[in-house]
Structure 1
Amino acid sequence: MIRLARVGATKKPYYRVVVIEKDRARNGRSIEVVGTYNPRTNPATVDLKHDRIQYWVGVGAQMSETVGKLVKKFPAAAPAAA
C-alpha cells in the first residue's frame, strides 16, 4: 500500500509518502519512502519519486485515495530533450 505517514509536530502536519504493508500502523515501519507532502506551505509542497511509485504500482501496490489525488495533481515533469 502507498499511503501517507504523518511525521510533523503537534498542529504542524508534515507527511511522508511511504510504501508499507496494508495491515501495519500508520507510522509503522515502512518498506520505502517515495516522497513528501507539506500542506502548510502556500501552495502545498509535494516531492514525489514518480519512477518508484510506478514500480510499486506495477508490482501490485495500491495507492490510498489521498496519494492518488496527489499523484494526479502533481504529475512527473517531462524529461528535457537533449
Structure 2
Amino acid sequence: MVRIRLTRMGKRHQPFYRIVVVDSRKRRDGAYIESLGYYNPLKEGEIKIDVERAVEWILKGAQPSDTVRDIFRKFGVMKRVHEIKYGKKEEATAE
C-alpha cells in the first residue's frame, strides 16, 4: 500500500519534515517515491504542499497518515478530493 506520510529531516532538537509518498513497508526515513512538500513545526508551523500532486496521489489510492491528513485538511486538499470523487454540492442540487 502506498502512504503519504512525514519523513524526518534536520538536526537533533530541530525537526523538519518532508511530506512524502512512500511504500508502507519502507522505514520512516527510507527511500520514497515522491516528495510533496515540507512541514517545519519550529517556524510557526511553516508548511508548503504541492496540492495538485497530493490530490492526484490520493485519487490513485495513496492513504495519508493521520498527521498528514490534518495538514491536508488545513490546505483544503481533502475537500478537493471529496469534490472530485463525489461531485460538488451545486451539481447534485441542480439535477
The verdict on a shared fold, with TM-score over 0.5 as the criterion, is yes
Please report the RMSD computed on the Cα atoms of aligned residues, expressed in angstroms.
1.0
Q: Which residue of 2 aligns with 1:21?
A: 23
Q: Decide which structure has the larger Cα Rg and report it.
A: 2
Q: Which has the higher strand share?
A: 2
Instruction: State how 1:43-54 maps to structure 2 within 5 Å.
Output: 43-54=44-55
Is structure 2 residue 41 aligned with structure 1 residue 34? Answer: no
Contiguous gaps of at least 5 residues in structure 2:
78-95
Runs of 4+ residues deviating >3 angstroms: none
CA deviation vs aligned residue, 1:29-76 (integer Å, no higher than 9, x gap): 0000001000001x2100000100111111110000000000111336
Choose between structure 1 and 2 for higher RCO, CA contacts under 8 A separated by at least 6 residues.
1
Q: Which residue of 2 aligns with 1:69?
A: 70
Contiguous gaps of at least 5 residues in structure 1:
77-82
Q: Which has the higher helix share?
A: 2
- Name the % identity: 37
TM-score normalised over the length of structure 2:
0.76
Q: How many residues align?
A: 75
TM-score normalised over the length of structure 1:
0.87
